[in-house]
Amino acid sequence: MKKIIVVSGPSGVGKTTLCARVVANEPRIRLCVTATTRAPRTGEVAGQDYHFMSPAEFETGIKNNEFIEHVKLFDAYYGTPEKSIDDIWQSSQTPLLRIDVQGAQVLRKLGYQGLFIFILPPSLEVLKERLKGRGSSTDSLEKRFQQVTEEMKRQSEYDFRVVNDKLDEAVREVKNILEDNFFMNKKTEEEAETDG
């Protein structure tokens, strides 16, 4: 069975940087590029970090069932195009999805199998400082922080939890989890299929 790797965690926890480092020089995994209607942040590249879409384009995609999962957060849509996952499987790689907890829950309900990892901040205070550093307004910051509290309650639904305090250590921990609990299992399944 084709499998996926899911990485979730609250806004500002460092998922984007961590996932980019995990997939770098790792040919077995490819980051699944998700779609959003929010504006690109400084340094983000269309088609590499996200597929940036207008709200009208995104809503057309919803009507045409192009997304496996989608959610509206902070006045912007986010979603996973089915084509993004299929393209990665076609290249015999494993998709790594960097998505929120609602999206992860939808994938589980749809029967997607794989490894689910939740990324935690070293503390809520550190996370608040990171969100402030993004230039969020006080009103936006409060909304985001309420969302963070709700997302943190869902961490027990994940197979593993990793604290992103020092990036290098968090990247190493995620790589070790994948090596020990995903690729080893995958190898065993493939061997069983060959023997059968």
One digit per residue, the tens of pLDDT, for the chain of length 196 reads 689 999 999 988 999 899 999 999 899 999 999 999 999 988 888 988 899 999 999 999 999 999 999 988 878 999 999 999 999 999 999 999 999 898 999 999 999 999 999 999 998 888 888 777 665 566 677 777 788 888 999 999 999 999 999 999 999 999 999 999 888 776 656 655 555 5
CA distance linking residue 138 with residue 154, whole number of Å? 25
Based on the structure, what is the number of domains in the chain?
1
Dihedral sign for Cα 148, 75, 112, 93, please.
negative
Q: Assess contact for 145 and 152: CB atoms under 8 A.
A: no
Buried b or exposed e, range 20-41, using 16+ CB within 10 angstroms: ebbbeeeeebbbbbbbbbeeee
Domain range for 184: 3-195
**Domain of 45: which CATH number?**
3.40.50.300
Residue 136 has what pLDDT? 58
